[in-house]
A and B are shown apart, each in its own frame.
Chain A
Amino acid sequence: METAVFSDVRSLAPALALVAAAVVSLLLHVFLRRRGPRVAGWTALSGVALALFLLAVGPTAPGALFAGVLRLDPFAVFIQLSVLLATALALLLAFRFFGAEKHEPGEVYPLFLLAAVGMMMAVAAADLVALYVSFELFAVSSYILAGIFKKDRRSSEAGIKYFFLGTLSSGCMLLGMALVFGLSGETSYAGAARALAGADEHIALAAMVLFFAGLFFKAAFIPFHMWAPDIYEGAPTPVAVFLSTASKAAVIGILIRSMTSLFGGFSSHWLAIFQALALATMFWGNIAALLQDNIKRLMAYSSIAHAGYLAIGLAAWSEAARTAILFYLFLYIFMNAAAFAIVLLARSEPGFKENVSDLRGLVRTSPLAAASVLVVLLSLTGIPPTAGFMGKYLLLAAAVEKKLYLLAAAGALNSVISLFYYFRVGRAIFMEEADDASAARPAPWSVQTVMVVAALVLLLFGLWPSALAELAGVSTLGN
């Protein structure tokens, strides 16, 4: 027995590495006065790198851990991988962002790590209690992250708003869990699912809807999105990157796992729910983005719209659709991190409003970053030869296979709508002339790294998507 627990703990090595890095980084930040924040940042990034390494070499299919409380299956590993990559990108951007501030808040770095641990555990959770605890770990860390600039009104507002609305959504989810527990007397997914099959259908449906609503809220599906644009805009940009990529990957992961192993018996209701969600989210997100002048708000709505594309896959809900969701989720992290990184290239100093026109002349000041932005924009729009096209292609193909022709056409149409605002950014960068005083600043190295890495990943998987598609294919959860 003891050895089994020991080997279970060893399977958690990646998450434990993050916890260790978080502790070390926090201590370094406190004790090394002047250089503290910088060292804390590098420690955190090394922790993520170590965790990525441990995840890659770790046991491939250990299955259930701790008597079935956690399931570390390929699905969980895939989402954890995505979460870690998103964290790494957010940390890189944080260097640039917080480094430019007078008082670099070094505690952001351990907070990123703790939130990531919460996400990693939450997607592996196969038990309601384990889920809730890890869910709250990442939720509470993100509330603090959003409000990390205590002196900045927008950041504080974002923190408070996120806290209130976030707890409301956690409450919804908790109520759903309570109903599940009341009906089944079980906290494990498998046990609860068995009991739900014979329970009163109305109450079981109410439980499912409440549970989903909490997740939809965190994933910023429309109409559960009200908090998202304000918080992405108000929060420091690296935090917005983290919330819109890592957090969304984790939430979609939790959603898919609960759909397969907890509420699998109610799949007949999903098509209507997710079709409505996909249509509302895509159209509303894209049309609202058309109206924005602030790049950060524009990208906030864009990230909402992309959740809508993911919902197409949830509506189709076939093996192919689940593969497509994972494929898209992985790319989405790179696309979205780069999209928010564009904000950091704008002319104005952090803390001011960054408008699309502040990007003028970037092609002259940093051509490499500009070329990478072009690839990212094409990918966000879904134009080949970028991976965004392949991802959208897989999602639409899954919809067409299920004969959801109109949903597929709506998804395709949304590409066209999004082209208009993405290429307002492209136009500012490539076509609008700017004198030296008003041209965008040369890109700092960390932002440039994120951009170039994202562009290379998107081009690589755009031309040769097979490897990623196969990895996503073997990582799906069975129905």
Chain B
Amino acid sequence: MTLLEIPILTFVIFFPLAGAIVLLALPASRARAIKVTANVVTGLEFLAVLAILKGFNAGSGELQLLERREWIRSFGAQYLLGVDGISLLLLLLTTLLTFVAVLSSWSAVEKRLKEYYFFLLLLEVGMVGVFLALDLVLFYVFWEVMLVPMYFLIGIWGGERRLYAAIKFFLYTLFGSVMMLVGILVLHAHYQTFDLTVMLQAGSPLAGALQGWVFLAFFLGFAIKVPMFPFHTWLPDAHVEAPTAGSVILAGVLLKMGTYGFVRFSLPLFPDATRRFLPWIVALSLVAIVYGALVSLMQKDMKRLIAYSSVSHMGFVTLGLFALTPMAVEGAVLQMINHGLSTGALFLIVGVLYERRHTRAISEFGGLAAQMPAYAAVFLIMALASIGLPGLNGFVGEFMILMGTFPVNWVWTAVAATGIILGAGYMLWLYQRVMFGRLDNPANQVLADLSPREWATFLPLLVLVFWIGLAPKPFLRLIEKPVEKVVRLANPDYFRTVESPAPALPVRAVSAGDEAR
């Protein structure tokens, strides 16, 4: 499948790069032309990703539209791209959120415009590349390419402590990725290839202890990105200091790269180690769910509150992934999308207020519902989506994760469910403090409601929140088969025992399997 004679996956990676180069050629004084170019490029990019759907077979769990070209002969690294339902859904999310983020910056960013949009487009190249690359060296290159623009977005256009937050983000994530690099090298020494599709077919995973170490090396890379407790401490700083568009992309897309890495690499490549470390990872996820929610309750800054709520929500995703049942993993993948939509929207919502008042302190606001009714409605819908109200997207994902984990271990489900209750607590309390009460701060009495451009940023997100909430079928259909494939590789016992009346606990099944070996 091609677009303008270029294979479509290559096109969607490099189109934003072409846009970035065009931006460089524009004179810095022509602010309007720069903004229009960036918006058009990211808009077209989303449409191009939509076009992938046309040649895509949703009924198959295989990686499709493969593009394979020689790249570095002497290392054996290839330029290998491909897409399955999971990555396609994430691509749609990425390109939509990037477009929304660019649109939301129209009046929010005033200094060094050209560089700002240049870095946003470069960031998109990295993100799209990560979701498409199937060669581990290529994957690593895109994975790291992403760090640099994000570092600059936080460091140049961020809040007061931006320099600190930017380098903290860079150091943390680079630490995770270089450990992953060592893991990639060990994998190469074992399989003699960087080609993921070949590795998956080889069916001869690394030997016991070494597999554990390589799993941990990848785990560090991904867990820091997610971020899982206790690797989350970079996140509140980065989210709070980043400009609104940066926060939207950080929360909406960058965090998903960690969980995407788990699904794409960790679970299928290291099945034994996955099951061995599973109790620990689940424990960390449960801690993240409850701890993230409790910390959110205490925040005085809106952005910080939403940042910590991400820790809690991503805990749900990792819990679902490592429950290793098809239902839970499907829920987790869907929840990745849901979290991107609702949290991305919540950061936009905070951004709307920040642009008007230049503060994010919750205590500065109150009674805004009377002054900004449309804003209040959007905020309410997004807050409820984030809580997981039935009929909205969050509910579907969380419910599937809980359903999927219950047969494995009901205690996990019970702990995770308390996280939902706490989630309702901090979100509704936030809403109450900002929106209800008396509108007695004079600065708030002159606030304008949503502008048409702001409406345009929220509209696609609102549509999807309802669509996934009411009719998730088309989305689930995309991820069903690929998820099944992952679970078959990571937890083959599940399909062996699924017919028997009482499904065995996978954890126990693993230890039995280990003894047999």
Contacts and interface: CB of A to CB of B under 8 A. Distances in A.
A217 to B, nearest CB: 30
The DSSP consensus for interface residues of chain B is helix
B189 A415 contact: no
A419 B213 CA distance: 25
Interface in B73-128: 73-75
A416 B174 contact: yes
A405 B140 contact: no
Contacts of B152: 430-431
Contacts of B185: 393, 396-397, 400, 408
Contacts of B163: 427, 431-432
A400 B174 contact: no
Contacts of A464: 72
Given A423-B170, A466-B73, A416 B213 contact: no
B141 A384 contact: yes
Interface string B122-156: 00000000000000010011001101100110011
Contacts of B156: 430-431
B72 A400 contact: no
B75 A420 contact: no
A400 B182 contact: yes
Contact of B179 (A393, A397, A412, A465): A412
A478 B152 CA distance: 45
B144 A384 contact: yes
B144 A389 contact: yes
Contacts of A291: none
B174 A383 contact: yes
A126 B144 CA distance: 44
A412 B145 contact: no
Of the four ranges (under 10, 10 to 19, 20 to 34, 35 or more), the interface on chain A belongs to 20 to 34
A152 interface: no
Nearest to A413: B178
Contacts of A390: 72
Contacts of B175: 413, 416
B129 to A, nearest CB: 10
B425 to A, nearest CB: 38
A473 interface: yes
A470 interface: yes
B188 interface: yes
Contacts of A55: none
Contacts of B151: 423
A401 B148 contact: no
Interface string B150-185: 011001100000110011001100110011011001
Nearest to B70: A466
Nearest to A398: B185
Contacts of B75: 393-394, 397, 465, 469
Contact of A405 (B145, B178, B213): B213
A419 B170 contact: yes
Nearest to B162: A431
14 contacts: A383-B144, A384-B140, A393-B137, A393-B181, A409-B179, A412-B182, A413-B178, A430-B152, A430-B156, A431-B156, A464-B72, A466-B72, A470-B74, A473-B74
Interface of A: 378, 381-385, 389-390, 393-394, 396-397, 400-401, 405, 408-409, 412-413, 415-416, 419-420, 423, 427, 430-432, 464-466, 469-470, 473
Interface of B: 72-75, 137, 140-141, 144-145, 147-148, 151-152, 155-156, 162-163, 166-167, 170-171, 174-175, 178-179, 181-182, 185-186, 188-189, 213
